[in-house]
Structure formats: C-alpha cells, structure tokens
Structure 1
Amino acid sequence: MAESESGADKSEEPTEKRLRESREKGQVARSRELSTLAVTLGGFGGLLVFGGSMGTAMLDIMRGNFSLSREVIMDKESMALWLAASGQHALESILPLLLVLMAMSVLGPISLGGWLFSTESMAPKFSRMNPLAGLKRMFSTQSLVELLKALGKFLLILIVGISVLHAKEQDLLAMAQEPIETAIMHACVVVGWSSFWMACGLILIAAIDVPFQLWTSKQKLMMTKQEVRDEYKDSDGKPEVKQRIRQLQRQMAQQRMMQAVPEADVVITNPTHFAVALKYDPQKGHAPVLLAKGGDFVALKIREIANEHQVMVLESPALARAVYYSTELDEEIPAGLYLAIAQVLAYVYQLRQYQSGKGKRPPPLADLPIPPDLRRDE
C-alpha cells in the first residue's frame, strides 16, 4: 500500500477532481513498450506490404543509374536532373511506409491514456536537474523495472532472432545462387518476415508493461483519507465559510426587506411576536404582495420603520400569523386570505380619509374571515 510523505496510507481511490487535475498536468499512464510495439509492427508490416513495390522501384533506380550514357555523365545539368528524378522516384516508393510509420507513432501513445496536450508537462522542470533527485530515480523501483524490461527485451529478441534465422537458413543460402534481381526481392521478403516476427516478440513485453503502467499511475494518484476530506471541503466549501456566506446572505436579504417596508400600504402585527408588511398595486398584480415579514426583533424593527415613514400599523394577531406562515417574500397572499386583507385595506383607506378630514371615522375591524387551514395558533 502506498504511503504519503507524511506516512499516512494512501488507501482511497482518486477522486474525479484528482483525476482531472492529473490529466491537465499531463500525468497519465503511458507505455513506451506499447509505442515501440506499434511503430515496429507498423514498420515491418508496411515493409511486407510495400516491400515488393519498394524493391522494384529501387531496382529501376539502380538499373537506370548504372546505364547512363557518356553524354549524360559528362553533363552537369543532366546529372542534376537525373539525381532529382531518382530521389523523387525513391521518395514516392517509400512514402506509403513513411505514412504508416507516422500513423503508428501517433496511435501507439494515444492508445493508452488517450489524446492529451498539456503545456504544463512541456514546461521545463528545474527540480530534475538536482543530482540527488537523479540518483534517487536511478535506484528507484521504476528504474529497476526499466532495467528488467530492457534485459527481457534483449533476451526475447535474441531468442526470436536466432529462431527466425534458423528457420530461414535455407532461404539465405539459396540467395547466393539466384540472379541479382530475384535475390534482392527474395531478401526483402526474408528481411521483412524476419523483422516482423522479431517485432511480434515485443507483444509479450507490452502485455506486461501496460498493466504495470496502469497500476503505477493509479498508485501515484491514490489518496489518504485526510486528502479526500480536504478535497471535499475545498469543493463543497468549508462549513465555517458556508455558514458565514449564509449569514451574509440573510443580512443582505433582511436589509433589502427593510428597505421595502416604507412602500407598504399596511403593517399587520401580532402585536409583538410577528409583523407583516403588505402592498397592493392593481396594475402589477391581482392580490396584495408580502414585502416584509419577521418575528420578535425583526418584527419590532419593521414596526419602527413603518412608524418612521407613517405606514399604517394594525393589530390582528390571527391574520398576522396566517400571512407570516403562508406567504413568502415578494409573493402574493393565498386566495383564502383575499377577503380578510381586502377588509384591512378598505379600513386603512377609510382611516386615511378620516385623518385627512374627508370622511367619517370607520368602525373598528371585526373578526376577520380566516380559513381554518390557514389559521396558526401561538
């Protein structure tokens, strides 16, 4: 089990955030052996496929260059043109093989870990210039594994090579008796198949290295329990920070609520425990809207602001509790309270008319009609 620098066991699977960050840094599982296998198999496989045409092209180039006339040889311009034509012919013959090699050089690395471009991994790391760190890497487990892989590849390729040479012994001896053109074609076939089988020997090395690289990469990303807890705190927010944010949000919401109290038509109180501020604007809605509500200290503050701005304050405990518990800020009151609120607003209008000397004093409010499902006891 892996251990962190502090000595704690890294027993937890890497989180999505840890995996994403490691990928952004270019830290993904890669296998050199898989890349080498892809390039060698692609190269020697391409040699088997295109070897015949390549051999024929080379024979044509050799035949043409060894049969030049004296006039051409002595003419510098003609020799330059002949050289350019020979080079173009050679390039065209090996171009398919080069394209296969280029494709395999790309497909090999991305087959494990996928396509990845990270500028951070390309940045120079001066820590690698530390001689002590270099010695530590030289005698690390990873270096030992690389050494064993190198010895394994050498022995495996040696065994396969000897086996292939033994199997192709008669073909190699027969080339000495063949015409030059036939011998060249025969040699291309022998070299191509021999190289291909030796490259196939790397499959065993890659089959061992790929799981090892995946395991090593995962072990590097393993996390301790404390790291997992810290990461969840950072992603979800520390409890004390979240509590402070909620506190500030409540303060801001309460401040906005208090700023809306002067716009209210009436404030209904309990009289001390609850206070609700209502406003009716027929042009914006069909029912009165709750501008502010609160209990105890907040209720007292609402009443104080209402008195400062000459907003009518009425005592109706049952109605105040019903509105407080049934309606949220900036919402219209429920339909069950329409009639009761309408009577309150009518009373406020009549009282204001009386105070301005334009009407009679309205009678006190009687029991307001509040549906049983909206009533709340103390």
Structure 2
Amino acid sequence: MAEGGDDDAERTEEPSQKKLDDARKKGNIAKSQEINTWFMLLAGAMALSMFGANSSAAVVGSMRGILEHAHDIRLDGGSIMLFGQEVFYAVMGAIALPLALFMLAGLVGNIIQHPPLWTTEPLMPKFSKVSPIAGFGRIFSKQSLVTFLKGLVKIGIVGAILIAVVWPEQDRFALTVQMDVMALGPFILEETMKVLIATVAVFAVLAGADYVYQRQTWYNKLRMSVRELKEEYKQQEGDPHIKARIRQLRMERSRRRMMAAVPTATVVITNPTHFAVALKYENGMDAPVCVAKGLDAVALRIRSVAQENDVPTVENPPLARALYASVEIDDAIPDEHFRAVAEVIGYVYRLKGKTRKN
C-alpha cells in the first residue's frame, strides 16, 4: 500500500511483480465470494440430480415408518434419545454424500481462483481491525456499498427465478396437501431442480462479473506512486550513489594493485603519452602477460612508476593501442601480437645485455 499519505491519484503506476508477490505472501489476493457460491450451487444441483431421488426416498421412508408407528414410541428418556439417534442417522445417511460434494465444491471454488496459500499474516492482530473509526470506515466504504447492492441483486434474482418457476405450477402446488407422502418427495425434488438449474445459469454470469470486478479492485489498490517505485528499486538494486561509490572504491583498489605490479614488468609499451601497457615475461612462460594498462593520466602514472623502478619503456603507438584494446590485466597477449611483442622484448633483452657489458 502507499506510504506517507499517498492519495489514490498519486498511485498512477502499475504494481511491480515484487509488490504483487508480497501481497500474495501476506494473503492479500483477489477473491470473489460469488465464485464459491456458484460452485456450491452447482454442487447442490449435481447432488440433487445424482442422489436426490434416493436420499428423498430414504428420508421419506424413514419418516413414514416413524409416523405409522408413532403410537409405539415410548416417551421415557432413554427411548426418546434412541428415537432421536435413529432420526439423526437416517438423515445424515441420506445427506452425507451431498455434504461431501458441497465441501469439495467450496474447496474447488477457492483453488480455481488462486493456488493454495499458507500464511499467518491475516491472523496477526492489527489495530485497524478493532479500531471503531476504521470499522466505521469499512461499513460505509465503497466495497460495503457494492456488497450491499450485490446482496439486493441476488435476492432479486432468486425471487424472480422462484416466481418464474412456481407461478406456472401454482395449481400443482395447491394440490400438494392432497398428495401421498411418497409422491410429494419427487414433486419437490423436480421443482427444486428447476430453481437450482436456473439459479446456477444466472449466477454464472454474476460470479464471472464479480470476479473481474474484485480482481480489478485488488489490482488498483496495489498500484504504486512514482516515489514507491523508486524506493523499491533502491531496496532491490541498491542506492545508485552508494553503488557508484562502491565501484569507485573497487577501481581505486584495482588501480593500486596494478601500480604495485608495474615494477615487476619486463617492458612498458607506450603511445607515448596516451596509452601505456606493462608486460611481464619470464623464462618458462607461454606468452607475455599484461600486468598493467592505462589511458592518459593512468598511462603517465604507469610510465612514472616504470622509470622509478628502471623498467624499460618502449614507444610503439600502434602496438600500444592494439594491446590496450585487446588484452585485459593478468591475461596473456593475443596470438596476433606475439611477433611484435617478441621483437620489443628481444630489443629489451639486448639493451639489458649491453648495459651489463658496460
């Protein structure tokens, strides 16, 4: 959510993936209760179509037996308890499978909207949950108004469906008082199925529209201001000023190590002032290795350190430029420069030999 009193108008940017992931981890997800309701209505219709006839027949049979032998039922405490248990087991046996289907439907309704999520964040105590002011704000919020209007719409839909189904059958309903008990069950089941099928069809549209609305509302609440995006970027990537300072310190340490390696070089090849590449070669090495290189001020510093430590300096502008562009520090020179570098090192060795003779 916005911090520092950001207004909704300031949250003009799309939420980042991190913001969306953090919201989900905290249990803040897009969820429509109407989806769950629709799945449970569908489960009810399926349960009635699959088990309704058998369940109603079983319940009616049990009740008919009880009514036919009502005069045999003893009214003492133990008999009443036994009678109640028999009725309970008869009813539960008839509705056990439909109840299981209802529970499965509720689970599917949640899973289809989002994967299973385990978090204790919603259980954590928050002042806003017990604050009267916050509670008053929730009661008269836009979300509460939408929920209230949805309730009215659902009541109107169910009422309209009942009228549409029952009104043409009003003559048959009037005759139910004369029906046999065994015939009453199928009639009620038939009419209930009509109501459920119509309700499931209409609520499918309502549930879909509500899910789109809930998801869009959830997404809009997670929108971010430009300041929030910058703060999140700093947290993820680090403060640019700090990163620049770290790079500067690393470059300084690298430059100091490089300068410390210049006295060990065999030769420094220069441009003469713009480029400087210090190479080291010893017997047994496969190829000369670059121990230091630099441009402009750094090149002048390399030359100065080389002169202070009697490291020969050879001016060869084309070779200096080529080596600077093609070789990194602590890497061997490329094959294409072997011949030119060998001539320079050979010249240095000859120069050192003459110096020893003198």
Indicate whether the TM-score tops 0.5: yes
Supply the AA of the counterpart residue of 2:333: I
Q: CA deviation at 1:220?
A: 1.3
Q: Which residue of 2 aligns with 1:279?
A: 280
Q: Aligned partners of 1:216 and 1:135: how far apart in 2?
A: 20
Question: 1:295 aligned to 2:267?
Answer: no
Superposition map of 1:324-343 within 5 A: 324-343=324-343
Q: 1:131 to 1:343 in 2, by over 3 A?
A: same
Superposition map of 1:66-215 within 5 A: 91=92, 93-113=94-114, 115-198=116-199, 200-203=201-204, 205-215=206-216
Question: 1:266 aligned to 2:278?
Answer: no
Q: Which residue of 1 aligns with 2:315?
A: 316
Question: C-alpha deviations, 1:320-354, integer Å up to 9, x for none?
Answer: 34422342223332334322221232344445556
Structure with the higher fraction of residues in helix conformation = 2
Question: C-alpha deviations, 1:165-210, integer Å up to 9, x for none?
Answer: 3234344344444433333343333334334444555445434423
Supply the AA of the counterpart residue of 1:33: E
Q: Aligned partners of 2:95 and 2:216: how far apart in 1?
A: 39
Once structures 1 and 2 are overlaid, which stretch shifts more, 118-127 or 147-156? 118-127
SS in 2 for 1:54: helix
Q: 1:168 to 1:114 in 2, by over 3 A?
A: farther
Question: 1:12 aligned to 2:13?
Answer: yes
Q: 1:167 to 1:117 in 2, by over 3 A?
A: farther
Q: Aligned partners of 2:149 and 2:342: how far apart in 1?
A: 90
Checking the alignment, whether the CA contact within 8 Å between 1:267 and 1:311 is kept in structure 2 is no
Q: 1:7 to 1:215 in 2, by over 3 A?
A: closer
Q: Which residue of 2 aligns with 1:372?
A: none
> Structure 2: 5+ residue runs without aligned partners?
none
Checking the alignment, whether the CA contact within 8 Å between 1:175 and 1:187 is kept in structure 2 is no
Q: Identity percentage over the alignment? A: 36
Q: 1:91 to 1:261 in 2, by over 3 A?
A: farther
Q: Aligned partners of 2:289 and 2:149: how far apart in 1?
A: 79
Checking the alignment, whether the CA contact within 8 Å between 1:261 and 1:305 is kept in structure 2 is yes
Q: Aligned partners of 1:215 and 1:288: how far apart in 2?
A: 65
Question: C-alpha deviations, 1:123-161, integer Å up to 9, x for none?
Answer: 332222111111112122222222222222223222322
Q: CA deviation at 1:84?
A: 8.5
Checking the alignment, whether the CA contact within 8 Å between 1:289 and 1:332 is kept in structure 2 is yes
Q: CA RMSD in A?
A: 3.9
Q: Which residue of 2 aligns with 1:51?
A: 52
Q: Aligned partners of 1:192 and 1:226: how far apart in 2?
A: 56
Q: Aligned partners of 1:162 and 1:282: how far apart in 2?
A: 104
Checking the alignment, whether the CA contact within 8 Å between 1:51 and 1:192 is kept in structure 2 is no
Q: CA deviation at 1:32?
A: 1.6
Q: Which residue of 1 aligns with 2:29?
A: 28
Q: 1:279 to 1:95 in 2, by over 3 A?
A: farther
Structure 2 length normalisation: TM-score?
Answer: 0.78
Q: Which residue of 2 aligns with 1:369?
A: none
Count of aligned residue pairs for this structure pair: 348
Q: Aligned partners of 1:208 and 1:270: how far apart in 2?
A: 74
Checking the alignment, whether the CA contact within 8 Å between 2:270 and 2:315 is kept in structure 1 is yes
SS in 2 for 1:267: strand
Q: 1:353 to 1:57 in 2, by over 3 A?
A: farther
SS in 1 for 2:125: coil
Supply the AA of the counterpart residue of 1:314: T
SS in 2 for 1:293: strand
Q: 1:171 to 1:311 in 2, by over 3 A?
A: farther
Q: CA deviation at 1:261?
A: 3.3
SS in 2 for 1:312: coil
Q: Aligned partners of 2:283 and 2:221: how far apart in 1?
A: 67
Checking the alignment, whether the CA contact within 8 Å between 1:45 and 1:196 is kept in structure 2 is no
SS in 1 for 2:312: strand
> Structure 1: 5+ residue runs without aligned partners?
362-378
Checking the alignment, whether the CA contact within 8 Å between 1:48 and 1:193 is kept in structure 2 is no
Q: CA deviation at 1:247?
A: 1.5
Checking the alignment, whether the CA contact within 8 Å between 2:267 and 2:314 is kept in structure 1 is no
Structure 1 length normalisation: TM-score?
Answer: 0.74
Supply the AA of the counterpart residue of 2:330: D
Q: 1:289 to 1:248 in 2, by over 3 A?
A: same
SS in 2 for 1:26: coil
SS in 2 for 1:247: helix
SS in 1 for 2:333: coil
Checking the alignment, whether the CA contact within 8 Å between 2:14 and 2:224 is kept in structure 1 is yes
Question: C-alpha deviations, 1:254-308, integer Å up to 9, x for none?
Answer: 2343344354333334555443221236756x42221211134433443455567
Q: CA deviation at 1:89?
A: 7.0
Q: Aligned partners of 2:279 and 2:84: how far apart in 1?
A: 97
